[in-house]
Amino acid sequence: MPATERSATARHFSGGCACGAIRYHTDATPLMMGDCQCRQCQRESGTGHASALIFPRQDVELEGTVSEWTAVGDGGTTKSKAFCPVCGSPVYMTLAEMPEVIVIRAGSLDDPALYQPQLVTWTAAGHAWDRIDRALPSFEGMPPR
């Protein structure tokens, strides 16, 4: 939808990799925004957690060609991680068990202020030095569905 047709209250989420070869756009409202402290997210982010926004897959427009690798998460979920083959930036992931969603890395947003975490997962793997917002609902693993 062109910017002139967007609702005045709608938020536009856009972003991509560090070099600009991968881009995404959506006017959808995130289904969830959260921080994950699992070991896999720690390794991928190079710090204590990864921050992500979950959107309906059908509402996100993707541009560019990504490279992917697949891993099974601590909870048994098969995840396809998409990153830029030029600069290596992680941009998004998809879940085999939930093909209707896409998980966008918060650090890839053009406007990082749009990210407002609602919960924290996998706190059992968290570190004392990783200062997450203690006021957020937290779960030792994945929250119940």
Query: For residue 130, is it within any domain?
Result: no
Query: For residue 131, is it within any domain?
Result: no
Given a cut of 60, whether residue 2 has pLDDT beyond it is no
Number of domains in the chain: 1
Given a cut of 50, whether residue 6 has pLDDT beyond it is no
Query: For residue 134, is it within any domain?
Result: no
Q: Tell me how far apart the alpha carbons of residues 100 and 58 are, in angstroms, rounded to a whole number.
A: 7
Q: Which residues contact 31 (CB under 8 A, 6 or more apart)?
A: 54, 55, 56, 101
Query: For residue 83, is it within any domain?
Result: yes
The whole domain housing 61 covers: 13-124
Query: For residue 5, is it within any domain?
Result: no
Query: For residue 129, is it within any domain?
Result: no
Question: Dmax of the chain from CA atoms?
Answer: 46
Given a cut of 90, whether residue 75 has pLDDT beyond it is no
* pLDDT computed for residue 8 by the predictor: 38
Query: For residue 31, is it within any domain?
Result: yes
Q: Which residues partner with 16 through β-bridges?
A: 23
**What is the average pLDDT across 98-119?**
96
Query: For residue 145, is it within any domain?
Result: no
What CATH number is associated with residue 61? 2.170.150.70
Specify the 3-state DSSP secondary structure of 73: coil
- Per-residue pLDDT of 10-50, as tens digits, reads 589 999 999 999 999 999 999 999 999 999 899 988 999 99
Q: What is the pTM for the complete model shown?
A: 0.86
